Structure 1
Amino acid sequence: MRERRETVTVADGRFDMDVWVPEAGRGPGLLLIQEIFGVGSYIRKVAEDLAGRGYVVGAPDLFWRLQRNWEAEHDQEGLAGSLQLVGRFDFQTGVDDAEAALGVLSGLPEVAGGAGLLGFCLGGSLAYTLAARTRPAAVVSFYGSSVHDTLHLIDRIEAPVQFHYGGKDPYIPRDKVAEVERAAAGRDHLEVHVQEDAGHAFHNFEAPMFHHPEAAEASWRLAMDFLARHLPVR
């Protein structure tokens, strides 16, 4: 695969988006939306995994207004710094930036067959909100902490969306996850999967404090099957 850096231009500035192109040289696009630790080692390894599966992956630097190219360590100190940073993050402006990044990604010459969204934590919330505004081919939202508070948006979403949660997430109580399950019930384009024994950020294999290997493997298999159905690599 090849990696390069693109620039996304918005009304008040420019920010970076790292792009990974699969060996085939083209494929469907996936906007990989960061967690609070930034576009660091974890997001980069996920991007490499997805590009290895045939996707053209773009990971935008959405903290650029606060701290360009933020990459926190996946430990308590890094968590504290990231929480402080996200406390100053303007969510709606982040959605605007993500939409601009999706436009750049979709317009790359290597992207063929549509473009989708995949986000973790903060990125899971941004992906869900952006899906209510745009028409991506598919959306995968991992433990988006604001989804249950913005369920009024769900009626606007036409794209297939797959939600992932941990049943023991201290940041997203199980009863709040149940609200998402009820909102998605009866809608064929929406799926909710709960790894009941896992907590928050269970897929993050760079963060021992969060990682739950069994839940990570199960959820990633579901996510890849979902993308194969709705955003297939041809």
Structure 2
Amino acid sequence: MKTTLTIEMELSLYAYCVELGAVVVEEVTMPEDKGIVDTLSCFMFPDGKREWRCYELKVSKADFRSAAKLSFIGHYNYYVLPKSLYEQVMEEIPREIGVLVYRPYVSEEKTDVPGTFSIVKKPQRKELEVEEEALTNRFMASLFREVRKAKRMEKGVRYFPTEELYKELKNRTTFLGVAGESLLYETFKEELENQAVTELTEELTALKKDYEFLKNRQTVRRRATEPLE
């Protein structure tokens, strides 16, 4: 399960890569059983050549030292770390791997993302460890996955299975904690109650209009000059 810090770093890294002019996508399964890269960016040049950069995000010492496979198969490869973690593990980082240190923005700054990055260690260029055509195919498949997600969101959450919605809600309440979860529930309950009140008010207004319309019709039919039966 992703931590709040991991999510902040993912959002910021995506924007960072886009600002550099790259096409970028997250969680790409590598060919030849090379694992899953957290974030993969591709720079396309006028001569048709491509430059691939792989980013592995780590937020704790245990995460950094995990046995999970590192997918450093690109031309340039980076660890993406909080400053405090970098200071703890800097001696363990291979010479050819670069490091981006996450720098969160202060709350007063109005930005679209939580933070940005500083390059504290430059990577060394190397040859791709997989065939570029296979890598491009995986990259395109991951981009297609994200487009499908976006199109589903455009159509609204009603197109998502109920179990997916419950799973997302559970993930969010985990980050919020007990107090936050209670607040989320109370907010949801309050919105439902307000919606019910609004709908009843609108229905009452419509009924009043219908009543006035029928009352006026009755008045027109019974003119003073006509005999009453």
State the TM-score, normalized to the length of structure 1: 0.30
Higher relative contact order (CA 8 A, sep 6+): 1
Question: Greater Rg, structure 1 or structure 2?
Answer: 2
Larger % of strand: which?
Answer: 1
- Structure 2-normalised TM-score? 0.30
